Structures are given as structure tokens and as C-alpha cells.
């Protein structure tokens, strides 16, 4: 039944009745029911991720409210370095921080090899709980790209310039490559375990690949995502699972990303979807790419933006409607409903 879902069919560019739709960070702070649970756990995002019952409940919240075509497991891209013992915590305004950044080959060599079924057991338990629920749509599992996860591990926190990791990239590339290899190994095992636990689709979030030059992107980010894709596509238990790669600000490298063997590419709102399809649409599906800030607009304007998006992709399967980035915390859920209804209303015309 999941295999005949709109999302899976669109990822395989098979005919669908209308364009599937889900929303990055659909389980999140813009939902009052999410904020209620978060308050009840003392406001700790990480504590929520690590409690399988809560993670399951939060994963399902948007599906109870909205007619969406996928769930995505409630988790974070930094679970791997957290499990490696780097001391992850989230500060109020500044995002994630690591107590023990990794900045030299000694620290990299000392990183432990993870067994996701024990070290990240809480994720697998949450996935299992979601799959035991009455969820009718595919469940997406995910990880961060090795490069993106490494930026946080090396910088120790969010960055604007990425000076520390890019210093390493240019001064000591071998150490950085060693770190990326370790993260790639962990990511392969992690997604493999997520698939065995029940996820139907995998997505790799490369939030910071777009801060690299083309040559550095291919060597330090895309190469390792490709290794993960190759690993999953070559193993009997995982090879049927569609994989979505998303490099924010990676629009200029779509052809290279499509070459990895992934099934779909997520694109941000700065890219023209029509142009993107003309470049890679024969090879992969495309996911995106509404500007998250259109959800501040009037209902009429939201409808117009959805129409423009659908027209930009055009007729035929292979488009998964989404925002080009995670939904912002101050968006009204009513606006999300308007967007969803517009997709339901206008997209069937593109699937004759």
C-alpha cells in the first residue's frame, strides 16, 4: 500500500492523481500542539527527540491536522555526533552547540564507531512506533550530509563564514577527509538501520554544501553523499528505498547531484523549477520549492504561488511539492492549510 502512495510513485516518476505534498519541519514549533508537548518536557528539543513516545507523537501531529502525503521522523541531523559523545546542546537563539568540537586528526581518530541500533536506539524505536500507528502515508527517515554534520562538529556551532572547517579544508584536507569518511560510514549504517526499522524513503540534508566552491562541493560534500547512495542502492534490504538529496543553494550543481543515483533532488526557492526540470527531470524527481515566507502572505497570494509552482514544473509526475526550506516557527497553521488545499485543488490538472 505504501508502495502505491503518491509520494513513492512521484519519487519514481510514475503516474499519480495529484502532486504529493509534505513540508520540511512539518512537526515543529508553528503547531500549538507541538509547543504544548515541548513545554511539558521542559522545552528541550533534544529530550523530545530522545523520547520515542514523544518523537512518535510529534511525528504524527501534522498528519492529524493536515492531509499530507508523508510523515518525517522527528529527529535532528546532529544525532550522530551527539551519539559520538561531542556534548550536543541547543541554546535559545543560537542553535546547536557542541561542548567538544573536533578539530584535529587525533580527535577525529578517537571518534567511536557507532552501532545505530544501540547508540541511536531511540530513533529506531520512534520509527517502529510510528510504523505501528495508523499512519497511511510513507515515513521519511533522514540524516545530515557528512559535510553538513562536520561543519557543526568542527565549528562547534552554527557559523556564517565556516572559517574553521574551511581552514581545515585548505590547510589539512586529509584530516577533514578522514572525518567525512567516518561520518559517511556512520550515516550508511544509520540510514540502513532506519530502513530496517521501517522508514519508506530516505533524505539527506546538505544544509551547508552551498557554501563551498564547485570543486570543493564535489570533493567534500557530494562525493560522500554519493557513497551513501551507492551503499544503500547496493544492499538487498535497502536498494528499493527512494533517496532524496537536498543541498541548499546547490542549484548550480543539479546535474552532478543527479549523477549520484539518487531518486530525487530537493531544491530551494532561489531556483527556477521549470529550468531545474529541463536540466535533470529525465533522470530524477524534484522536491520543492516554495519560499517559506510566502506563508506570511494572503490566502489569495498563497494560492497564486502554488499555481505558479505547479505550472513551473508542468504536466506529469516527478514533482513533490514542498517548501524550499523548513517552515518558520511563526507561521500560522491556517496558512499551511491554505497551501495544502491549493495543491489539492490545482495539481490534478497537471496529472491528466
Binding site for its own copies (CB under 8 A): 161-163, 166-167, 169-171, 210-217, 249, 251-252, 269-272, 291-294, 296-298, 301, 308, 328, 330
The active-site residue out of 13, 25, 103, 277 is: 25
The answer to whether residue 152 is catalytic is yes
The active-site residue out of 152, 190, 217, 313 is: 152
- Residue 64 or 300: the one with the smaller Cβ distance to its own copies is 300
The active-site residue out of 76, 119, 189, 200 is: 76
Distance CA 285, CA 264 (A): 4
Ramachandran category for residue 156: left, alpha or beta (phi over 0 → left; psi -120 to 50 → alpha): left
Distance CA 292, CA 325 (A): 6
Nearest distance, CB of residue 292 and its own copies, angstroms? 8
Consecutive H or E run containing 72? strand 71-72
Query: What radius of gyration do the chain's Cα atoms show?
Result: 19
- Residue 2 or 177: the one with the smaller Cβ distance to its own copies is 177
The answer to whether residue 13 is catalytic is no
- Residue 167 or 278: the one with the smaller Cβ distance to its own copies is 167
The answer to whether residue 76 is catalytic is yes
The active-site residue out of 29, 35, 65, 218 is: 29
- Residue 122 or 296: the one with the smaller Cβ distance to its own copies is 296
The answer to whether residue 29 is catalytic is yes
Nearest distance, CB of residue 212 and its own copies, angstroms? 7
Distance CA 232, CA 300 (A): 43
- Residue 183 or 323: the one with the smaller Cβ distance to its own copies is 323
Distance CA 229, CA 174 (A): 23
Give the DSSP per-residue string, 330-342.
T--HHHHHHHHHH
Distance CA 201, CA 10 (A): 12
The answer to whether residue 170 is catalytic is no
**Residue pair 286/276 in contact by the 8 Å Cβ criterion:** yes
Contacts of 61 (CB under 8 A, 6+ apart): 27, 31, 33, 34
Nearest distance, CB of residue 167 and its own copies, angstroms? 4
Nearest distance, CB of residue 210 and its own copies, angstroms? 6
Nearest distance, CB of residue 272 and its own copies, angstroms? 5
Active centre residues (catalytic): 25, 29, 38, 76, 152
Amino acid at each position: 500500500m505504501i508502495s502505491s502512495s503518491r509520494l513513492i510513485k512521484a519519487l519514481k516518476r510514475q503516474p499519480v492523481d495529484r502532486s504529493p505534498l509534505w513540508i520540511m519541519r512539518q512537526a515543529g514549533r508553528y503547531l500549538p500542539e507541538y509547543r504544548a508537548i515541548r513545554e511539558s518536557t521542559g522545552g528541550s528539543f533534544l529530550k523530545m527527540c530522545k523520547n520515542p513516545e514523544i518523537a512518535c507523537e510529534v511525528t504524527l501531529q501534522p498528519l492529524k491536522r493536515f492531509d499530507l502525503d508523508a510523515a518525517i521522523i522527528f529527529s535532528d541531523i546532529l544525532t550522530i555526533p551527539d551519539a559520538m559523545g561531542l556534548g550536543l546542546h541547543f541554546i535559545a537563539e543560537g542553535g546547536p552547540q557542541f561542548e567538544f568540537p573536533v578539530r584535529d586528526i587525533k580527535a577525529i581518530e578517537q571518534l567511536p564507531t557507532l552501532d545505530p541500533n544501540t547508540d541511536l536506539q531511540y530513533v529506531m524505536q520512534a520509527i517502529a512506533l510510528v510504523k505501528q500507528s495508523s499512519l497511511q502515508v510513507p515515513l521519511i527517515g533522514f540524516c545530515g550530509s557528512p559535510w553538513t554534520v562536520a561543519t557543526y562538529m568542527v565549528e562547534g556551532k552554527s557559523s556564517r563564514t565556516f572559517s574553521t572547517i574551511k581552514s581545515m579544508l585548505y590547510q589539512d584536507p586529509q584530516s577533514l577527509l578522514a572525518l567525512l569518511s567516518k561520518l559517511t560510514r556512520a550515516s550508511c549504517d544509520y540510514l540502513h538501520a532506519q530502513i530496517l526499522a521501517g522508514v519508506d524513503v530516505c533524505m539527506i540534508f546538505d544544509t551547508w554544501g552551498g557554501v563551498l566552491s564547485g570543486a570543493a562541493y564535489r570533493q567534500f560534500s557530494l562525493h560522500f553523499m554519493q557513497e551513501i547512495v551507492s551503499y544503500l542502492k547496493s544492499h538487498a534490504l535497502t536498494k528499493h528505498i527512494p533517496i532524496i538529496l537536498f543541498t541548499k543553494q546547490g542549484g548550480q550543481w543539479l546535474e552532478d547531484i543527479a549523477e549520484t543515483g539518487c531518486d530525487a533532488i530537493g531544491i530551494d526557492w532561489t531556483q527556477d523549477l521549470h529550468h531545474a526540470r529541463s536540466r535533470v527531470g529525465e533522470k530524477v524527481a524534484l522536491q520543492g520549492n516554495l519560499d517559506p515566507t510566502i506563508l506570511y502572505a494572503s490566502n489569495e497570494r498563497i494560492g497564486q504561488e502554488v499555481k505558479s509552482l505547479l505550472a513551473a514544473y508542468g504536466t506529469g509526475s516527478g514533482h513533490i511539492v514542498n517548501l524550499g526550506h523548513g517552515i518558520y516557527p511563526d507561521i500560522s497553521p491556517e496558512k499551511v492549510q491554505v497551501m495544502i488545499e491549493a495543491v489539492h485543488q490545482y495539481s490534478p490538472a497537471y496529472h491528466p
